[in-house]
Structure 1
Amino acid sequence: MKRKKHTSGDDEAQVDMTPMLDIVFIMLIFFIVTTSFVKEKGLGVNRPEDNQNQNQNPSQALSIRIDADGVIQMNGREVDIRRVIANVQTYLANTPTTSAAIQAHEDTEHGIVVEVMNQAKIAGIEQVSVLVKKD
């Protein structure tokens, strides 16, 4: 058997990578296990309950219409903007309801719609919905 002579070219050192890979996998498992997941903060959504008040009939809601010229009609009768509170209170005295629907034309000034909403709230309406009527 011949013996091989060691030359300077054969003296290259090789590193065994197996222990290093084992350590990397152990660290990976450690970080995965110890990571705490933080719940992100966001906006809360108020969803209506399933058992809403079934006694209120949708036809009992106060109907307010505003046309393109700013003319206000409550239940088919023309009303001045300064008399909305009084008319809403009269309606509430005759028909107990907590909601109103304002149907505004798309060309109506926004200030009139907001003023009618505010007056309805002052008069005692709790829920005001706004609908936009397009031609």
Structure 2
Amino acid sequence: MKRKKHTSADDEAQIDMTPMLDIVFIMLIFFIVTTSFVKEKGLDVNRPEDNQSNTDKPSSSLSIRIDENGTITMGGREVDIRRVVANTQTYLAENNTDTAAIQAHEDTEHGTVVEVMNQVKVAGIEKVSVLVKGS
């Protein structure tokens, strides 16, 4: 009996990968071509520029305090409600600011706080914030 010699070609069965790679590339091209690139809808944001070298920035805000009795204090001294405009204009002449902070006690009448806010706006400060201080 003769023995057959096993060749390396018989031992290794090979699969032809070319048709499979062709199909993969065709599918890849199909998906790339059929994909629609849609710009998403949204809001355009206008971010402020960072100008740290700007010297026109306000130095500090005007601080006004109103206690529970309605006593108005500006700059460490007691002020009548009719003199808020004049004192605010004096403060603006000495300081470069565009904001005012009114710190009112929680028991202060609302009419007094609103009147002080109006007086400050008449004097030329548009940005007014109100802080309520508890007891």
Shift >6 Å, 4+ stretches: none
How far apart, in 2, do the equivalents of 1:64 and 1:51 lie? 31
- Structure 1: any 5+ residue segments left out of the alignment? 1-46
- Residue correspondence of structure 1 range 20-99 to structure 2 within 5 A: 50-51=48-49, 55-57=57-59, 60-99=60-99
Structure 2 length-normalised TM: 0.59
How far apart, in 1, do the equivalents of 2:114 and 2:70 lie? 12
- Structure 2: any 5+ residue segments left out of the alignment? 1-44
Amino acid paired to 1:90: T
Question: Which one has the largest radius of gyration?
Answer: 2
- How many residue pairs get aligned? The number is 87
Q: Secondary structure at the match of 1:97?
A: coil
1:7-28 deviation line (CA, Å, top 9, x unaligned) = xxxxxxxxxxxxxxxxxxxxxx
Report the aligned-residue RMSD.
2.1
Amino acid paired to 2:70: G
Identical pairs, percent: 67
Q: Secondary structure at the match of 1:96?
A: coil
Deviation at 1:90, TM superposition (A): 0.4
Structure 1 length-normalised TM: 0.59
Q: Secondary structure at the match of 1:129?
A: strand
